Chains A and B, each alone.
Chain A
């Protein structure tokens, strides 16, 4: 299947703030294929969360301005849907969500079982579409319950019955995130968007959760879009990695090519900044530009040693060093030619 599951083209998103319009996404292109686990990496503020939420359609309504672009999912442009339709047909069905903080993402005054079964009422694979008044029949409730129990076992939660009766504050962080994974899989989705799912967890648990997510996703043929600022996590489970900088997509490559042969100057700096015995600690000189008045052309150019006049005015062209490996740069580098500053 060559048709991508998700194709974002030329997406431009702005937030209107007190200081002016913040251009958080600048003509972003992004692709995902079926059954792929893609990591979307970048520093805080690079736009990865915004892109993830744009796909879901849950950007803050009052201040969001989408001025251009398309988000084609399964052949249809999600930007053309009105919010109610998106909510009824796509969200929680074909595209599900794993949030960053599993604690505050559960409603504190309802039991876990209440919330999961409510989700099943509206979003289980057997649920009729639409958002009209819903009668939740006993037969369906029973089959849904069985499905829930199965999935809870698959995410390795002991005592599924007991957990359903508990309140969110009575369960541990790792267990909560496993529940979130289960809830994301229950509606039988095509795509799971996981927004920094391990940031709020202890380091020891992070790897477990990530591997669990990967295994289950691959078993069921579900694609996963996984945003993170942690390159190690991306290395752990991603088939492909896309880097963003200051609202622009910068490089995208299969894992091996990404970590072994990065071409964009920023990607190189990013990988270099991982502490290692030889190089010690290296930062990237300069600062992330303000998105209300970003640099023209390639937004990385003020901090880039390769920058030329073209970089300062035009959007960099696409370069394809190898199949599936895409770089947006006028002067891509390789590990051997990159001069260390």
Chain B
């Protein structure tokens, strides 16, 4: 894909997108460097009941929770969970959904129609509703959250890629490739895929935000990784009974979710402005 550096350069000039990228970078740093950045790395699993529900202080930047654990440290480790869930869920759904969409778009026939029908059914329902059903059935754990999210997300990519493949097939460059005797595999992978990749990239980035929110909601409802997991949604749920006194307990993870999702949204918007030519305004001559 030509112009990767060009994209980076234009991204840097878009201030809101760059800000979003910085937020995401902070998330990555927090997740990767959690053991070193945390002031109380052991608090992911250790309890100190004597220190419970203390406000923010020099020792505990963001206060302590109901078990006396350091919220700041648990937040950092929670970042790992957030990234893991989001990246794997989207990754899996893309890896499943895109090839199916390509195949369905390339080949016509009842199988394609059937696949699209199935996708439509999944897409006919809000993601969280189905995800709740699945996660509830399988039991609360991080793997099941990922599974629930993947199962409810792959049809989105299939539909998207199907539509874009169908319209790409009408383009002359594809007709040329086919006329030159290219195998279906070559056509799909070497010709169609690169041209729809920018659309996929933009939506993946924007989709990260939504996925993180849904995952947090599942965690909040108790369907995510069980205690003592530092997952952000679960932490917010735990904090409820201690409000309004322990206001820091609910605030910290909520702000974290907010910043992370906003980061992905801003970056995704910036990418869309750059990569999607249809949305660019042309000036008068």
Contacts and interface: CB of A to CB of B under 8 A. Distances in A.
The answer to A–B direct touch (Cβ < 8 A) is yes
A314 to B, nearest CB: 28
A49 B283 contact: no
A167 to B, nearest CB: 23
A155 B95 CA distance: 59
A45 B285 contact: yes
Contacts of B283: 15, 17, 60, 63
A257 interface: no
B284 interface: yes
Nearest to B284: A60
A44 B284 contact: no
Contacts of A50: 284-285
Interface string A59-98: 1100100000000000000000000000000000000000
Contacts of B285: 44-45, 49-50
Contacts of A315: none
Interface string B261-285: 0000000000000000000000111
A49 B283 CA distance: 12
A50 B283 CA distance: 12
Contacts of A49: 284-285
B171 to A, nearest CB: 22
Nearest to A60: B284
A44 B284 CA distance: 12
A50 to B, nearest CB: 7
Interface residues of A, number: 10
A196 B172 CA distance: 29
Nearest to A18: B13
A53 interface: yes
A17 B285 CA distance: 12
Nearest to A46: B285
Nearest to B13: A18
B14 to A, nearest CB: 12
Nearest to B283: A60
A310 B99 CA distance: 66
A53 B284 CA distance: 10
A63 B283 CA distance: 10
Interface in B226-285: 283-285
A90 to B, nearest CB: 20
Nearest to A59: B284
Nearest to A47: B285
Nearest to A24: B285
Interface string A38-63: 00000011000110010000011001
Interface string B177-199: 00000000000000000000000
A201 B283 CA distance: 22
Contacts of A53: 284
Nearest to A48: B285
A266 B285 CA distance: 21
A229 B285 CA distance: 13
Nearest to B285: A49
A53 B285 CA distance: 10
B274 to A, nearest CB: 14
A196 to B, nearest CB: 10
A4 B96 CA distance: 71
Contacts of A63: 283
A17 B284 CA distance: 12
A15 B283 CA distance: 10
A146 B134 CA distance: 68
A49 B285 CA distance: 7
A64 B113 CA distance: 52
A59 B285 CA distance: 10
A59 B284 CA distance: 8
Contacts of A44: 285
Contacts of B284: 49-50, 53, 59-60
Contacts of A59: 284
A44 B285 CA distance: 8
B283 to A, nearest CB: 7
Contacts of A17: 283
A68 B284 CA distance: 21
A99 to B, nearest CB: 12
Contacts of A45: 285
Interface in B105-160: none
Interface string A224-258: 00000000000000000000000000000000000
A28 B250 CA distance: 67
Given A49-B285, A60-B283, A63-B283, 10 more contacts: A15-B283, A17-B283, A44-B285, A45-B285, A49-B284, A50-B284, A50-B285, A53-B284, A59-B284, A60-B284
Interface of B: 283-285
13 contacts: A15-B283, A17-B283, A44-B285, A45-B285, A49-B284, A49-B285, A50-B284, A50-B285, A53-B284, A59-B284, A60-B283, A60-B284, A63-B283
Nearest 5 Cβ contacts at the A-B interface: A49-B285, A60-B284, A45-B285, A44-B285, A60-B283
